[in-house]
Amino acid sequence: MESGKNPMGDEELADLIKNSPENLEGLINRYWDRLFYFIKKVSYFGDEDAEDILQNVFIKVYKNINDFDSSMKFSSWIYRITRNEVVDQIRKKQARPQNISYDASEILKLTGSEINIEKDIQGKEARAEIMKIISGLPVKYREAIILKFLEEKSYDEMMDILKKPKGTVAALINRGKKLMQKEAEKRNITL
């Protein structure tokens, strides 16, 4: 579906899904990896749980396809469904915090840190500590920070995904960053 010079847009794909569930395949191929890693970063779930969540997400996408309207990006809509499903599953499973794995570039994006993570031994230690800090953040701050700095969503997109006004989104990001800085200071890491 995505072959050719002009790959079909998300909205066009969404329209096709209304006609037949077979057309979901294009969307699944397009969004599976992005959403899979988003789920893994926001939650503490393993691969299998993340896959189960994604299955539910795409079934919900199909069920609620008539609720999508073009006043928002399709990607924001599907991220919203995913985010809601993750939050539901966290509540249901009452998952305990585990360390979430981020690569070096992601750590840099999240913290803007000057630490030379690749070379420095201290940097490696700091990276592990930073992962712990991010893992320890409450979900509402963690998801806001991940959406902003890893998924690189705009404030408008975040507003649609989190279903919160722009001011609240900005406050979540700021508060999350402050919590990270405060925790980093306790661990003698400069962010």
- In this structure, the chain runs to a length of 191
Binding mask 131-170 for other proteins (x = CB under 8 A): ----------------------------xx--xxxxx---
Contact flag: residue 51 with other proteins (CB under 8 A):
yes
Distance separating alpha carbons of residues 156 and 146, to the nearest angstrom: 15
| CA 137 distance to own-chain centroid | 14
- Using CB under 8 A, pick the residue from 32, 37, 44, 155 that binds other proteins: 32
Cβ(39)–Cβ(54) below 8 Å: yes
Cβ(151)–Cβ(106) below 8 Å: no
- Using CB under 8 A, pick the residue from 29, 70, 99, 101 that binds other proteins: 29
- Using CB under 8 A, pick the residue from 10, 41, 45, 58 that binds other proteins: 58
Distance separating alpha carbons of residues 191 and 185, to the nearest angstrom: 8
- Candidate ranges 22-30, 89-97, 146-154, 174-182; the one touching other proteins (CB under 8 A): 22-30
Distance separating alpha carbons of residues 56 and 62, to the nearest angstrom: 10
- Using CB under 8 A, pick the residue from 35, 39, 54, 117 that binds other proteins: 54
Residues sharing a CB contact under 8 Å with residue 6, sequence separation 6 or more, in sequence order: none
User: Site residues (CB under 8 A) for other proteins?
Assistant: 17-18, 21-22, 24-25, 28-29, 32-33, 51, 54-55, 58-59, 62-67, 71, 159-160, 163-167
